[in-house]
Amino acid sequence: MTSQALDIGFIGLGIMGAPMCGQLIKAGHMLFVHTRGKLPESIAGSNATCCTSARDVAERADILITMVPDTADVEAVLFGEAGVAAGLMASAGGREGSARKVVIDMSSISPIATKAFAQKINALGCDYLDAPVSGGEVGAKNATLSIMVGGPQSTFERVRPLFELMGKNITLVGGNGDGQTAKVANQIIVALNIEAVAEALLFAARAGADPARVRQALMGGFASSKILEVHGERMVKRSFDPGFRIELHQKDLNLALSSARALGVALPNTATAQELFNSCAAHGGKAWDHSAMVRALEKLANFEIGQKAV
């Protein structure tokens, strides 16, 4: 695919979707957008065309991207009334090779459902990629997302220039569904790292050390990580406005645990991390940033990182 301007559809303009869409607009592509919430100011003030339905987007765009919260949301966008499939049926007939329309789901959803969605879209004469991302709001704004892709090599190469506008670490993992499997694995690692950083900083603070200085010291050693850098700072500064909401990480760990049950695999620490997220949600924190998992551990300890140890 050349760098020429393309007609791109983007459905889902939330915390992640809006800046990702913005990167495509900035590169000079024509965007046709649809979102169920209020159109973000950054998109409303651009030359993007706001469409009334997912079907409208699919009829007008050659490359279509979805970025919505969960499996059921993707299914509704793709196959619901006035959904993407209806638009593809009305506009994609007879296209071959590089002219075929492409649906790219960048949401984080079930790998099993993804395979079924891909088959249905393929049956309409269109190509399908699952391409979930990691890197949070910061990565979306800075175009530094990691993008894990599942689908045909030829389709991946065709749209890779678009991925490169939104991310840095872009990997074709395998066939449809494998991108989502990689994302589930990513979310297991992220959750367990958040839990480890939270335990370490809580321990340090309760022992009377300055958690900010402990974090600084650890950043220079083998314990250093992106989670310690970004979320460790959030824990110390008590800054829990969402980059990535706890309820979304709960959804991802539900995917991990349900898939593990189906595979006969035990994920004991993933289950523990999920219970800590559940505790946060029970205390009104489902919309907190996932770094706020530390609050569940603080309640167990009856001590907050910001307190002075006595």
Enumerate the active-site residues.
183
Question: Are 270 and 282 contacting, i.e. CB atoms less than 8 angstroms apart?
Answer: no
Task: Name the β-bridge partners of 162.
Answer: none
Question: Are 133 and 110 contacting, i.e. CB atoms less than 8 angstroms apart?
Answer: no
Task: Name the β-bridge partners of 245.
Answer: 289
Taking each helix axis from N to C terminus, what angle separates 178-206 and 246-263, rounded to the nearest 10 degrees?
A: 120
- Dihedral sign from CA coordinates of 187, 193, 197, 199: positive
Rounded Cα–Cα distance for residues 171 and 192 (Å): 23
Which among 52, 130, 59, 129 is positioned nearest to 93, based on CA atoms? 59
Type of residue at 226 = K
Rounded Cα–Cα distance for residues 309 and 255 (Å): 39
- Take residue 175 and report the two structure tokens written for it: 């066939």
- In this structure, the number of other CB atoms found within 10 A of the CB of residue 271 comes to 13
